[in-house]
Structure 1
Amino acid sequence: MTQSSPLPMKGLAVGQAHDADVKTGVTVILPDAPATCAVDVRGGGPGTREIMTLQDGGLIDKVHAVVLSGGSVYGLAAADAVTTWLGEKRIGYAPAPEPVPVSPLVPSAILFDNANGGDKDWGREPPFRRLAFEACEAAGSDVGEGQVGAGFGATAGLYRGGLGMASENINGVTLTALIAANPVGSPYMPGTECPWAWAHEMGDEFGGQRPPSDYIAVEASDTKLAFLKSSGQSTVIGAVVTDGDLTQKQLKRLAIMAQDGIAMAVQPAHTPLDGDTIFALSAGNKGCETPVALAELGGAAARCVARALMRGVHLAKEN
């Protein structure tokens, strides 16, 4: 099952595309204006691009897009296409007037979906550049969830993975998480159909399941650990976006706190076999001026990541 939901804030667009034969896809986040951005990496096997440009003390603190892709290392080519697409529109860092090309800043992260049974015999033309161009052209204010975009070929433990979105408003500031769920760990409590994230569910956004009253913890048998022999084969990647006006230093803390949402929704989390990477972007002008306000926003970020991760899994499972 897939579902489309409107973005709960202005200031950005999201585009997605997938290839059903290859069983992979791409999600592109396009802010209306250059957005302040930070990133936090917790998994032991990440695949990323332009991460070092976002570190403290660098020249760059704003980006022109963020790309999430399947395809493992091949999926990093999606960011090349987004860079080209933006450059054609002269959207990017301009070191000099025309005819000097602009330099779009497009950090990205990939997940491993290359063993999901799709047709990976792509020769010298992996589909990720094509999918990224399609995603850019399709970008808008509605976000597909479930088996769409970067979540199309994902798996979560031994279940289908997917892409999900969740939001929360706290102190007048909106926080939205977009998460592609492809973790080694399981999103369900062992021996049940109850998500680890059940306590954070709003309404019945991922099925309304609750732990059995007589639940006793048992050893999990629905993770990928029995099947994985090398690192870099799974991950949770995504972004949290706020309409608050945060500095890059504040966004770094937001990304760190948002990573807790993975551990709230998946066990085990942040393993050597995962590549968990979360971007944090500021796409608005609402105030977040005190450490207390930032702490509350970070708590919301963790909850939204947990909910978005589980929504992606739940909607994909319902397919």
Structure 2
Amino acid sequence: MTIRPGPRNLITDVDGILVGHAEDHRVRSGVTVVYPVARCPAAADVRGGAPGTLNIQAMDATSLRNEVDAVVLSGGSMYGLDAAGGVVAVLGTRGRGIAFGGAVVPVVPAAILFDLMNGGDKGWGEQPPYNALGRAALGAVGPDFPLGNVGAGLGARANALKGGLGSASTVTADGLQIGALVAVNSFGSVVMPGTDRFWAWPLEMEGEFGGLGPPPADWRGQAEMPLPPNYAVNPMANTTIAVVAVNAALAQGELQRLAMMAQDGLARSIRPIHTPFDGDTVFALATGRVPLSNPAMLARLGHLAADTLARAVARGVYAARSLGDRPGWRERFGH
């Protein structure tokens, strides 16, 4: 069956999903908010060895409710979890969340990446910027947004290259919509050793990350995987965090399986992945607009979500520009 990118090639091609970014360029860090227009079920899969997350258990199948009001991706390591508090405060004033009598409690899970060593001014004292950045990112949500050095991807670094914020989408002829958004801050490399080719090159659609095609004919993969600069000094300064969304109606166990399958998109685009030094986390959202007709449809959705996430990884690094000690892909390879 024919598949293609959606009209924007962004996660917002899934009907009912909006995204907003906010950055502090002096700090070299930022926040991205994924906002479902209507509360929707969510799940999360964590595979890295050094994760930083908030409210993950609220999405567990054994919990009372598993709908969320937003998902926050942030730089700033543990400081970045404050961004979720800013989003919760704003949503609460809107009456968005779980109602308990006269009280409303928004449910906002979050994941953070480490960007504290990228050269930005982190001397914020007792007032880190992330609460305000979370509010600003929520205030900026919409269907269109840029990629690269924006939001949670502003200060990200991907091995020896500048990391960034990436997104991609897939739509099918029978009405399925699959989208992915990712902040790439990986220990592993997104390019094949000794080349300028992305590991995700076989999945590229419509020249979305350069259209360079396969690696040179004489490439056989003998080159040792390059390690990021100063990795021995800062061995935990990583993490790739992502959100995938589909327009299908999924039960909680099905949504958890989707998040697990989507993680393979990181394995298709970053090597090595899920290391002791990363906190790789993937959230999954289901807006429920298309019924799940049979179990094979879930397998199909998971496969497409993984491929879409792999494309988003490459798109994020492809769009990123040099910052600090990490060259952008285009500057590094002269494209």
TM-score normalised by structure 1 residue count: 0.94
1:153 aligned partner: 155
Does 2:250 match 1:275? no
2:194 aligned partner: 191
Q: Would the alpha carbon gap of residues 184 and 59 (structure 1) be closer, same or farther in structure 2, given more than 3 Å must change?
A: same
Which of these residues, 162, 168, 171, is aligned with residue 170 of structure 2? 168
2:111 aligned partner: 109
1:15 aligned partner: 20
Does 2:284 match 1:313? no
Listed as ranges, the matches of 1:257-272 within 5 Å are 257-272=261-276
Residues in 2 aligned to 1:218 and 1:154: alpha-carbon distance in whole angstroms: 28
SS at match of 2:132: helix
Alpha-carbon contact 2:244-2:285 (below 8 Å) kept: yes
Residues in 1 aligned to 2:122 and 2:224: alpha-carbon distance in whole angstroms: 31
1:243-274 alpha-carbon deviations (Å, 9 max, x no partner): 11111211100100000010100110000100
Shift of 1:231: 5.6
Identify the range of structure 1 (278-287 vs 306-315) with the bigger mean alpha-carbon deviation. 278-287
Structure 2 gaps of 5+ residues are 1-7, 321-327
Shift of 1:230: 6.0
Which of these residues, 223, 247, 250, is aligned with residue 243 of structure 1? 247
Structure 1 gaps of 5+ residues are none
Shift of 1:140: 0.9
Residues in 2 aligned to 1:60 and 1:225: alpha-carbon distance in whole angstroms: 43
Does 2:210 match 1:201? no
Which of these residues, 64, 78, 88, is aligned with residue 83 of structure 1? 88
SS at match of 1:94: strand
Query: How many aligned positions are there?
Result: 313
Identity among equivalent positions (%) equals 46
Listed as ranges, the matches of 1:213-232 within 5 Å are 213-220=217-224, 222-224=226-228, 227-229=231-233, 232=236
Residues in 2 aligned to 1:258 and 1:217: alpha-carbon distance in whole angstroms: 25
Residues in 2 aligned to 1:255 and 1:135: alpha-carbon distance in whole angstroms: 24
SS at match of 1:305: helix
Please tell me the residue identity of whatever aligns with 1:120: K
Shift of 1:194: 0.6
Alpha-carbon contact 2:14-2:245 (below 8 Å) kept: no
Shift of 1:217: 1.4
Does 2:65 match 1:63? no
Residues in 1 aligned to 2:104 and 2:136: alpha-carbon distance in whole angstroms: 22
